[in-house]
Amino acid sequence: MKVLVPVKRVIDYNVKVRVKADSSGVDLANVKMSMNPFDEIAVEQAIRLKEAGQADEIVIVSIGVEKAQETIRTALAMGADRGILVKAVDNVETDVEPLAVAKILAKIVEEEGPGLVLCGKQAIDNDMNATGQMLAALLGWAQGTFASKLAIEGDHASVTREVDGGLQTIKVKMPAVVTVDLRLNEPRYASLPNIMKAKKKPLDVKTPEDYGVDVSPRLTVVSVKEPPARKAGVKVADVAELVDKLKNEAGVI
């Protein structure tokens, strides 16, 4: 079985995000970019499937700026087999929206014929949480989202989903789209031999036109603002004062 893993190049999760002065977006100039952490988990899961003999090839796709190639190489250094870069935008500040991404991915799925698409549940930059679901809809495939456990059982996959208040295990028919959550696995480091091999692995460069997909934005960003700063707390002398404040000031009890 072939596994397709789409990965997104996003602002590194360690970077303290700064909103641009004109509220048009987040400042991405000179900022460290990395693979979306949820996508890293998807890559790790694909590699584990391959190690378990349940997958034979892992194809990485990234849609975005040319530099997304580095993100693909990182996945190849972790152990994926080859990559496809879809150069969709020149400017890192232009986000390719989930629907356009899903449409391109649907075309790639048609060409590549994977038995499973493993996506991160969402990208940590815009938190859309939509691409995997849209892709499943476009393909008419089953979907299992927020996976914290995944087992391939013949022509079905058992997906344990992290839902509000607990875990839900569902059985989906393969081929399927599975979006992965934080607790599915812990991604490995790229090993030195794999880092050295990554460059030799094939990486195709495509454009949205190759797939006949229009990536022009449909959404307009009105304004981006920093979350309100947390105010300093207050110290209370005793439980009575705390109860009083909760009752009369905060009005929560």
Q: Which residues lie near another protein (CB under 8 A)?
A: 34, 70, 73-74, 77, 189-196, 198-199
Residue that has been written with the tokens 């009083």 in this structure: 244
Tell the smallest beta-carbon distance from residue 33 to another protein (Å).
Answer: 11
Least distance between another protein and beta carbon 70 (Å): 6
Which of 173, 199 has the CB closer to another protein?
199
When the beta carbons of 107 and 201 are compared against another protein, the nearer one is 201
Count of Cβ atoms closer than 10 Å to residue 80 Cβ: 25
User: What's the min distance (Å) between Cβ of 162 and another protein?
Assistant: 23
228-248 CB burial, b ≥16 within 10 A, e <16 = eeeeeeeeeeeeeeeeeeeee
Instruction: Compare residues 80 and 136 and give the one whose CB is closer to another protein.
Output: 80
Report which of 138, 103, 99, 105 is spatially closest to residue 119, judged by C-alpha positions: 105
Provide, rounded to whole angstroms, the least separation between the CB of residue 238 and another protein.
Answer: 29
User: Min. distance of Cβ 229 from another protein in angstroms?
Assistant: 12
- Please identify, using beta-carbon distances, which residue of 73 and 87 lies nearer to another protein: 73
Contact indicator for 120, 41 with CB cutoff of 8 Å = yes
Cα end-to-end distance, the chain, whole Å: 56
Distance from C-alpha of 248 to C-alpha of 197, rounded to nearest angstrom: 65
Say which residues have a Cβ less than 8 Å from residue 141's Cβ, sequence separation at least 6.
Answer: 117, 135, 175, 176, 177
Q: Specify whether the CB–CB gap between 64 and 208 falls below 8 A.
A: no
Residue 20 vs 199, nearer CB to another protein: 199
